[in-house]
Amino acid sequence: MSEAQTSFTPRVFSGIQPSGGLTLGNYLGAMRRFVQWQDRGQQEGFETIFCMVDLHAITVWQDPDALRRQTRELAAGYIASGLDPAKSILFNQSQVPEHAQLAWIFNCVARMGWMQRMTQWKDKAGKNTQNASLGLFAYPALMAADILIYHATHVPVGEDQKQHVELTRDIAAKFNHDYKVDFFPETEPVIEGAATRVMSLRDGSKKMSKSDPSDMARINMTDDADTIANKIRKARTDPDALPSEAEGLEGRAEARNLVNIYAALCDSDIASVLKDVGGRQFSEFKPMLADLAVEKLSPISSEMSRLMETPDEIDRILGLGADRARAIAAPILARTYEIVGMIKS
């Protein structure tokens, strides 16, 4: 594990928003890596904490019934992908009020200018910033609270979340500086592996996203084999054959994306994949990719469906996870309040 601040015990935290169905991007960029961290945590003796960040999801409109279903589906996705509630702490954010309580403190530490610079804010608020929710603007302060309420030192995320984890470091540093303490760690974003940025199947310059209006732009973890094959068949590409070396993908964003997905799914890298498939046309490569995707994703989606048949069991697991999370979060919040000068009678 790389060193953040040596005085802090290593602890891993990350989360995913239940803001829609899980995508292949979430799986490759986040969830699959969470499982690797869980296994490493078991071997090396550090805690791993994974959250369904429902408070983040409502920074844009969510239908309440859909939010409940998506939160349970995300929990099912976590477990079906290999996260084990006996090994990692799994819970939904709103059940641990310390996240929102610490976020308020951080709203008072973070600066407006910092938030305005966030690319996710600019992308999601678009031109009509006056109509965006205040929550969307303050999103990174809540994310900092999610991480720092556990004194998490390492946060595995996809490329798009790097800026937010860096802001978390700034908030921790400013808090420590303003209150003359060494209380919050400066957390490391951990961005590694072949698929830290999976792109849309329709536009190689856009991230694959659950909220993309086009369902054809993404592979959902709940898509069946035919749907996956159809989406890959229709994925945008160019007319040229695949190159034999990575340099040949320059300026070919869509081609690069499909090779990247293939490499990530078979735990390889772009160069090795191109050694095997260089020279082939997409008409040949796409079915290979579809078969691989179905082989890897089908067992997860079947397990998700099975778990979704017992929503009470999912709720029970999340409740137990929330109790364990609160046991860590409550003393950290209490100490934060003390540092800030809140009186406790």
Spell out, one character per residue from 282 to 311, where the chain touches ligand AQP: x when CB under 6 A holds, - when not: ------------------------------
Active site residue 124: yes
Which residues, numbered 180-219, are part of the site for ligand AQP (CB under 6 A)?
Answer: 195-198, 207-211
Catalytic residue among 127, 174, 210, 296: 210
Active site residue 180: no
Instruction: Report, in Å, the least distance between residue 47 CB and ligand AQP.
Output: 19
Residue 311's identity, in one-letter code, is P
Please state, in angstroms and rounded to a whole number, the distance separating the CA atoms of residues 89 and 191.
21
Please state, in angstroms and rounded to a whole number, the distance separating the CA atoms of residues 126 and 214.
18
- 257 belongs to the binding site for ligand AQP (CB under 6 A): no
DSSP 173-207: HHHHHHTT---S--PEEE--STTSSPBPSS-TTSB
Catalytic residue among 87, 122, 124, 344: 124
Using CB positions, name the residue nearest to ligand AQP.
Answer: 29
Active site residue 87: no
Spell out, one character per residue from 8 to 27, where the chain touches ligand AQP: x when CB under 6 A holds, - when not: --------xx-xx--x-xx-
The residue among 196 and 336 lying less far from ligand AQP, judged by its C-beta, is 196
Which residues, numbered 122-181, are part of the site for ligand AQP (CB under 6 A)?
Answer: 157-158, 160-161
The residue among 124 and 326 lying less far from ligand AQP, judged by its C-beta, is 124
Q: Name 93's Cβ contacts closer than 8 Å, sequence gap at least 6.
A: 15, 51, 52, 53, 54, 55, 56, 99, 146
Could you count the other beta carbons within 10 Å of the beta carbon of residue 72?
Answer: 23
- 102 belongs to the binding site for ligand AQP (CB under 6 A): no
Is the CB of residue 261 less than 8 Å from the CB of residue 289? yes
The residue among 151 and 207 lying less far from ligand AQP, judged by its C-beta, is 207
Map tokens 């089908």 to a residue: 298
Q: Using the 8-state DSSP alphabet, how is residue 11 labeled?
A: E
Helix (H) or strand (E) holding 171: helix 162-178
The residue among 55 and 157 lying less far from ligand AQP, judged by its C-beta, is 157
Please state, in angstroms and rounded to a whole number, the distance separating the CA atoms of residues 273 and 245.
9
Catalytic residues: 124, 207, 210
**Given the rule CB under 6 A, which residues bind ligand AQP?**
16-17, 19-20, 23, 25-26, 29-30, 157-158, 160-161, 195-198, 207-211
